[in-house]
Chains A and B, each alone.
Chain A
Amino acid sequence: MLAKRIIPCLDVKNGKVVKGINFINLKDAGDAVELSFRYYKEFADELVFLDITATEEKRKTLVHLVEEVAKVIRIPFTVGGGISTINDIEQLLKAGADKVSLNSAIVKNPQLIKEASKQFGNQAIVAAIDLKKVNNQKKVFVNGGKLETDIDGLTWCQQVEQLGAGEILLTSMDNDGTRNGFDVDFLKIVQSKVSIPVIASGGAGNMNHFLNAFQIAKVDACLAAGIFHYDEIKIIDLKKYLHENGIEVRL
């Protein structure tokens, strides 16, 4: 049995970790490395780095940051944000990232998933999907959630699997930042329609929210940022709580 995964997400903007961090004064990418190391030691199962400025500024994700992170942590990590070519992916994987997450680029060019998974293996290709409710339908948004598309969320989840993505990172923009819990109902639907791992993202506020996502929606992993950065929930406490409630986790 695979353990359910807990994944802290570090949003990186101009080399700094953003999303309000009050336990440590993070000034630059070097501090992002420090935070990564801390999460590694606290039993995070994986890390995700999202360069949130990347797409709109057409800036490449920081290869240097990836190299520095790879030197200090011994768990897998994913890098995303502004990745749009096979060459981008190759650079990041060579720098030590285990996976890349692709978002806007695969909406523009779905064949990129196919090419990338063929070249690097589907375990290295994560399809990141940002969804928001519009007229009672889950629509795919791109460019850091700024641009609405006509694409239906569930259809897109199934398509990325067919194209060869190894995993889906599903963010509910409606829930993100609310701390009211993950979008369990929709995650449950997605989970039943795809056969690649699904990572729930957006809305984590307490430990019970994670339990719901694992128990009800049966997702493979949960991702959160703020509650871990603020130290509101310690990863190790969360994992103990999940374990006590019958969820298999790595302790």
Chain B
Amino acid sequence: MIAIIDYGAGNTKSVTNVLEELKVEFIVTSRETDINKSEKIIFPGVGEASFAIRKLHLTNLFTLLRITKKPLLGICLGMQLLSDKTEEGNTNCLSVIPTVCKKFEDEKNKVPQMGWNKVKIIKKNILFDEINDESFFYYANSYYMPINEFTIATSVYGNEFSAAIQKNNFYGVQFHPEKSGEAGIKLLKNFIEKC
């Protein structure tokens, strides 16, 4: 079973629709006991960082998510929350990935980054198994995670940033695989079946 973390702000419907299509058992939850019973965790994210972290503290999930040994996939804000800190609301995050998320600030580019961008795979990873390099994925973000030692794929929007990361059992994608057509479905399938 897959636990999808619900912290009030995220649109979980798009993710659950894909899991239903893939015929995967899942539970949308903010309860520790449900997460303990699950094999994998999807940590989606739409909304604001400080609100999300506050919610994780309120539901007692903050520490659990930091130390879990289960495969976890953070999506969009869910990936950013794996960092030490984000400039959004000057928020301290889960400190899985030692980096600080920043706001896009190139004057030539509009913020949020909204639309389809090419994803370049820089380290071979099971998450991108059978997905073509430089495929397009859908983004909707104002903040980004800089490139770091755990970056496995990048995109360019003004500057190059982390499109996807992996550290041990922690995976993260800045784009929305659930909104990225066939390539996105494939990526979610890879996480569910191979990670």
Q: Which A residues lie at the B interface, using CB under 8 A?
A: 1-3, 5, 40, 45, 70-71, 74-76, 93-96, 98, 118, 120-124, 166-167, 195-197, 220-221, 250
B40 CB, nearest partner CB in chain A, Å:
20
Q: List 28 A-B contacts (CB under 8 A).
A: A1-B117, A1-B118, A1-B156, A2-B115, A2-B117, A3-B136, A5-B115, A45-B115, A45-B116, A71-B17, A74-B178, A74-B180, A74-B182, A74-B185, A75-B138, A75-B180, A94-B11, A94-B13, A96-B13, A98-B140, A98-B179, A121-B46, A123-B140, A166-B112, A166-B114, A195-B111, A220-B115, A250-B116
Q: Which residues of chain B are within 8 angstroms of A195 by Cβ–Cβ distance?
A: 110-111
Interface string of B1-29 (1 = CB under 8 A from A): 00000000101011001101000000000
B13's closest neighbor in chain A, by CB?
A96
Q: Which residues of chain B are within 8 angstroms of A167 by Cβ–Cβ distance?
A: 114
A-B contact count (CB 8 A): 87
| A76 adjacent to B138 (CB under 8 Å) | yes
Which of B11, B18, B117, B179 is most buried by chain A, counting CB atoms within 10 A of its CB? B11
Q: Which residues of chain B are within 8 angstroms of A3 by Cβ–Cβ distance?
A: 115-118, 136
The size of the chain B interface, using a CB distance under 8 A, is 35
Distance of A105 Cα from B123 Cα, bound (Å):
48
Q: A1-B156, A98-B140 are in contact. Are A196 and B116 (CB under 8 A)?
A: no
Q: Which residues of chain A are within 8 angstroms of B141 by Cβ–Cβ distance?
A: 123
Q: Which residues of chain B are within 8 angstroms of A124 by Cβ–Cβ distance?
A: 46
Q: Is B184 an interface residue (CB 8 A)?
A: yes
Distance of A202 Cα from B75 Cα, bound (Å):
35
B18's closest neighbor in chain A, by CB?
A74
Distance of A69 Cα from B17 Cα, bound (Å):
10
Q: A2-B115, A195-B110, A197-B114 are in contact. Are A250 and B136 (CB under 8 A)?
A: yes
A79 CB, nearest partner CB in chain B, Å:
13
Distance of A124 Cα from B47 Cα, bound (Å):
9
- Give the dominant DSSP class at B's interface: mixed
Q: Is B129 an interface residue (CB 8 A)?
A: no
Q: Which B residues lie at the A interface, using CB under 8 A?
A: 9, 11, 13-14, 17-18, 20, 46-48, 110-118, 136, 138-142, 156-157, 176, 178-182, 184-185
In addition to A70-B14, A75-B180, 6 A-B residue pairs with Cβ atoms within 8 Å of each other are: A3-B117, A3-B136, A40-B181, A71-B17, A96-B17, A98-B179
Distance of A124 Cα from B10 Cα, bound (Å):
11
Distance of A30 Cα from B142 Cα, bound (Å):
35
Distance of A57 Cα from B67 Cα, bound (Å):
53
- State which of B14, B181, B185 has its C-beta within 8 Å of the C-beta of A96: B14
- State which of B48, B110, B138 has its C-beta within 8 Å of the C-beta of A197: B110
B136 CB, nearest partner CB in chain A, Å:
4
Distance of A5 Cα from B113 Cα, bound (Å):
13
B107's closest neighbor in chain A, by CB?
A195
Q: Which residues of chain B are within 8 angstroms of A5 by Cβ–Cβ distance?
A: 115-116
Distance of A5 Cα from B139 Cα, bound (Å):
12
A17 CB, nearest partner CB in chain B, Å:
21
Q: A70-B17, A74-B18, A98-B179 are in contact. Are A2 and B116 (CB under 8 A)?
A: yes
Distance of A120 Cα from B180 Cα, bound (Å):
20
Distance of A40 Cα from B179 Cα, bound (Å):
11
Which of B48, B157, B181 is most buried by chain A, counting CB atoms within 10 A of its CB? B181
A200 CB, nearest partner CB in chain B, Å:
14
Q: Which residues of chain B are within 8 angstroms of A122 by Cβ–Cβ distance?
A: 112, 142
Q: Which residues of chain A are within 8 angstroms of B142 by Cβ–Cβ distance?
A: 122-123
A187 CB, nearest partner CB in chain B, Å:
14
| B115 adjacent to A197 (CB under 8 Å) | yes
| B13 adjacent to A70 (CB under 8 Å) | yes
Q: Which residues of chain B are within 8 angstroms of A75 by Cβ–Cβ distance?
A: 138, 179-181
Distance of A45 Cα from B136 Cα, bound (Å):
11
